[in-house]
Amino acid sequence: NAGVTQTPKFQVLKTGQSMTLQCAQDMNHNSMYWYRQDPGMGLRLIYYSASEGTTDKGEVPNGYNVSRLNKREFSLRLESAAPSQTSVYFCASSEIPDRAYGYTFGSGTRLTVV
């Protein structure tokens, strides 16, 4: 019962480098989300995909792009990393409209941009 799997778990980038964070879920959920978590600020939504084939901006989308590759996979791309993107990134999924079980989160990717 893997749930939501994120790769990599840790990454160090130099300013200006690009990378893609991968996320896959095996629960047949329709909706997937990318959040970042910074100290004292709570989780903030970057992008989400309500269903396969759709993506929408969240609260803090600047500097990021996403791809909903299929129903299972939702990737987050940083085209030109900046120190302000140092954070812990979480992917989550949910079965909408059933709100009773909240989101299922992955274990996160800790990204440092130097």
Partner 1 sequence: EDQVTQSPEALRLQEGESSSLNCSYTVSGLRGLFWYRQDPGKGPEFLFTLYSAGEEKEKERLKATLTKKESFLHITAPKPEDSATYLCAVQADNYGQNFVFGPGTRLSVLP
Residues in the site for partner 1, rule: CB under 8 A? 4, 31, 33, 35, 40-45, 48, 50, 58, 90, 92, 96-97, 99-108
Distance CA 32, CA 43 (A): 15
Closer by beta carbon to partner 1, 17 or else 44: 44
As measured in angstroms, the least distance from the Cβ of 80 to partner 1 is 26
As measured in angstroms, the least distance from the Cβ of 16 to partner 1 is 28
Distance CA 47, CA 64 (A): 8
Closer by beta carbon to partner 1, 17 or else 22: 22
3-state secondary structure (DSSP) of residue 76: strand
**Where is 47: in which H helix or E strand?**
strand 42-49
As measured in angstroms, the least distance from the Cβ of 22 to partner 1 is 15
As measured in angstroms, the least distance from the Cβ of 63 to partner 1 is 19
Closer by beta carbon to partner 1, 5 or else 17: 5
Closer by beta carbon to partner 1, 2 or else 14: 2
Q: Which string of b and e fits 35-69 if b means at least 16 CB within 10 Å?
A: bbeeeeeebebbbbbeeeeebeebebbeebebebe
